[in-house]
Structure 1
Amino acid sequence: MSDAITPPAPLSAPALLPLGGAARFAVGSLVLAGFVWAVRAVWEVRLAVAGEPASGAPDQGGGVHRPLTSLEDQYHLVVSAGGIAVVVCAVAFVGWLGRARANARELSGRPPRYAGLWVYLGWVVPVVNLWFPRGIVAEVHRDSAPGERLPRCVNVWWALWLVGLLSGVGLLSGASTDQVIARAYTDYWALLVSDAATVGAAVAGVFVVRALTAVQERHAR
């Protein structure tokens, strides 16, 4: 009879979802959204330099709209392109975040604080959209790399996002394109502040995606 003790089998590595493709898609869409929003800012400067036509603002009240100038018509196209870019960016970023969140749960072995529904609704529900998305991103990092400091780019990204969100002329302002054109003629600096914050948030978002993806890939190895 052999007295040899069979050593315990080594623990298997966590089964993580592949994150590289989703991360590249998210980064590419963030770059696209930032670029289109920067183009939007350029057109707002062009409108401000050209000045309001003698016929007044495009929306003249009472349901009356004058014909657009060629520059105003171009701005409508730029805004439409920006809307498409934002939708693509939202789908890509939330898709990446959902996979990163699932991996974080696998790495930590405990359920996340935020219910899965908030990964999607946390961006649009009033009040909670001021901190839920950042909280989800921070939790992903904490569960993926316990004890490691949250990357600074997360706070930079969220601060810039909030400026663009709450500026009154940003992503959720609800203003029509003709109303934004009128503001470009009279108050273009406010538009540019919002645009700069939105572009900055897109750039910082690239670093967020790269940082959290790298953390998970490192711990998976």
Structure 2
Amino acid sequence: MNDHISTPTPSAAPAPALRPVRGVARLAVAGLALSGAVWAVRAVWEIRLAVTGEPASGPPDQGEGVHRPLTSLEDSYHLVGTVGGVAALICAIVFLMWLGNVRDNARILSRRKPRYSDFWLYAGWLIPIANLWIPRGVIADAHQDSAPGERLPVAVNVWWGLWLIGLLSGVGLMYGDDTDEIIARAYTDLWMLLASDAAVIGAAVTGIFVVRAVTAAQVRHLDGSVRYGDSPIHAAQ
């Protein structure tokens, strides 16, 4: 007697919401530009130190825990180094915010589990050996999942190569020397400092192209409407 009553079919699960990418991409670009500009200023200060020459009293670190008073130029280099550290921290924060957003969106679009877990999204930059390839892999995977069939932008490999030079040179973003030791090296081995600085600045510049390329690939596939199962996914703002 109730044959005419049909059992309602369950509705499809709503598509996961995409995270915004345009705004955070602009922040990442600004952070990279700031970091590159400050590192260029640092290189100029190192050139000034080399041109001025080491004082007759020797390097700032005299050994056995003895440090002589700094010259005004050396003191200002300490300030430049501090500003550079703050700029690098800001750059790292906004870059990881951007990377987290595009990675999550790529996971939604591809409906595939990322090759690297959330842990590696952050720790992959810090753990020795792993930091030689995992960060590049995260970005490459995000691009591939956002724009399947498209070639990886050349900027990704150029950026990563420059990043590794700055990382492994010992005087780049993760140098082991303190500021006084770097000042002493500016007096004796300026070319090594400038080579590392050039790699870091180049990585910042090419990093801007990486952010723009990966963001554009994702937005290009999102603009208008992209199907996710039976539900449309609209462009991330």
**Band the TM-score falls in, shorter-chain normalisation:** over 0.9
Residue deviations 1:105-143, cap 9 Å, x none?
Answer: 011011100001111101010000000000000000010
Does residue 66 in structure 1 map to residue 68 in structure 2? yes
**Could you say which residue in structure 2 is the equivalent of 1:157?**
159
Corresponding residue number in structure 2 for 1:55: 57
Task: Select which of 10, 14, 19 maps to 1:17.
Answer: 19
Deviations 1:79-111 (A, max 9, x none): 000000000000000110000000000110111
Distance apart, 1:15 and its partner CA: 3.5
C-alpha root-mean-square deviation of aligned residues, in Å? Answer: 1.6
Structure-1-length-normalised TM-score: 0.93
1:32 is aligned to 2:34: yes
Q: In the alignment, does 2:187 pair up with 1:191?
A: no
Shift of 1:172: 1.3
Cα deviation, 1:36-95, whole Å, max 9, x if unaligned, reads: 000000000000000000000000011100000000001000000000000000000011
Q: Distance in 2 between matches of 1:219 and 1:110?
A: 17
- Cα distance in 1 for residues equivalent to 2:62 and 2:176: 18
Structure 2 residues not aligned, in runs of 5+? 1-13, 224-237
- The code of the aligned residue for 2:116 comes to Y
Query: Please, which of 98, 103, 117 is the counterpart of residue 119 of structure 2?
Result: 117
Alignment TM-score, normalising by the size of structure 2:
0.87
Q: Which residue of 2 aligns with 1:88?
A: 90
Letter in 2 for 1:148: E
Distance in 2 separating the partners of 1:15 and 1:218: 17
CA contact (8 A) 1:13 1:220 kept: no
SS at match of 2:67: coil
In structure 1, distance between residues paired with 2:210 and 2:172: 21
Aligned length: 213
Separation in 1 of the partners of 2:131 and 2:16?
Answer: 31
Structure-1 separation of matches of 2:196 and 2:15: 45
SS at match of 1:60: strand
Of Structure 1 and Structure 2, which has the larger fraction of its residues in strand? 2
Q: Which amino acid in structure 2 is aligned with residue 162 of structure 1?
A: L
Q: CA deviation at 1:170?
A: 1.1
Q: Distance in 2 between matches of 1:172 and 1:220?
A: 37
Q: Once superposed, which parts of structure 1, at least 4 consecutive aligned residues long, lie more than 3 Å away?
A: 12-15
Taking every aligned residue pair, what percent have the same amino acid on both sides? 67
Instruction: State how far apart, in whole Å, the 2-side matches of 1:212 and 1:146 are.
Output: 12
User: Are the equivalent residues in 2 in contact too, given 1:32–1:85 (CA < 8 A)?
Assistant: yes
Distance 1:51 1:97 in 2: 43
Kept after mapping to 2: 8 A contact 1:16/1:220: no
Partner of residue 168, structure 2: 166
Say which one has the larger Rg. Answer: 2
1:100 and 2:102 aligned: yes
1:136 and 2:138 are equivalent in the alignment: yes
Distance in 1 between residues matched to 2:104 and 2:15, nearest whole Å: 15
